[in-house]
Amino acid sequence: MEQVKEKSFVSGNSIVRKIWGKADTILFIFAGASAEFALNRSVDWLYFTGKLPSDPLGRLFSTVGYARRIIFLDEEKALQAIRNITAIHKNVEANRGFNIPDEAYLEVLFMLIDYSIRAFELLERELTPAEREEVFAVFYRVGFEMGLRGLPKSYAAYSAMRSGQLTNDLRYSNFSLDLFRQYRKHLGPVRYWILKQAQVLVAPQQVAQLLSLGKTPWLRPVVYLYKFFRLLRLQNLLKNAILPKGYVSEVRALDVI
């Protein structure tokens, strides 16, 4: 009897799979998200459980990792993963005594869309309008399955909301200051500097200004070198130099294409 192939949450030839199928791209998505997380209006929710300040790299890798798993799972398993995420947040809400605002979820969802595009275009090429719509559509569905209200219906609507979010909703606070202190503590001074340089390359102008990241991306020549190393299949040499030892194997495992 012929086995029925399970339907994937994201089609096999989707640009989203190409973006999230390479550890290089995911690392820059992580860099951008690590910057903007610190400015999120609802960053206090991330501090509530204590997991973010105690293990900021692990907490952020977990967020990015969940998104990646959903992208590569079959339909039913992806939907179950989304339900699990929703249940985890409901438990946090119950423990704290009030609800996480929909805006907090939207901020994270918008980050994943934006940095997916920014990271891929930094390392590969400019996306077509249709490909950008495809990136939006995948994460729109994630938000829809989570039951989020206020989701934009198109990439154009998302872009307008994202622009307003970047202009009006980001805040530099004591949480921001503390989170970057934790990054430095867990990464060490050299890797922390590399992280901040990666953030300069992918962060929107508003994020870079609020965090005083600077305008000169000293890491850009390294990106060109990284692309050259990738052609020679030597990119792991650079990953070993950049990543903390505990994350090297974890990040290598993100490569699926």
Containing 184, the helix (H) or strand (E) segment is: helix 174-187
75: number of Cβ within 10 Å:
12
pLDDT confidence tier of residue 101, bands split at 50, 70 and 90:
confident
pTM: 0.84
Q: Which pLDDT tens digit goes with each residue over 191-240?
A: 888 888 889 889 999 999 999 987 766 666 666 666 655 654 545 555 55
Task: Collapse the DSSP code of 74 into the 3-class scheme (helix H, G, I; strand E, B; otherwise coil) and give the result.
Answer: strand
What is the rounded distance in angstroms from the CA atom of residue 83 to the CA atom of residue 63?
15
Kindly list the domain boundaries of the chain, sorted by start residue: 15-252
Q: Which pLDDT tens digit goes with each residue over 157-188?
A: 999 999 999 999 999 998 889 889 988 988 88
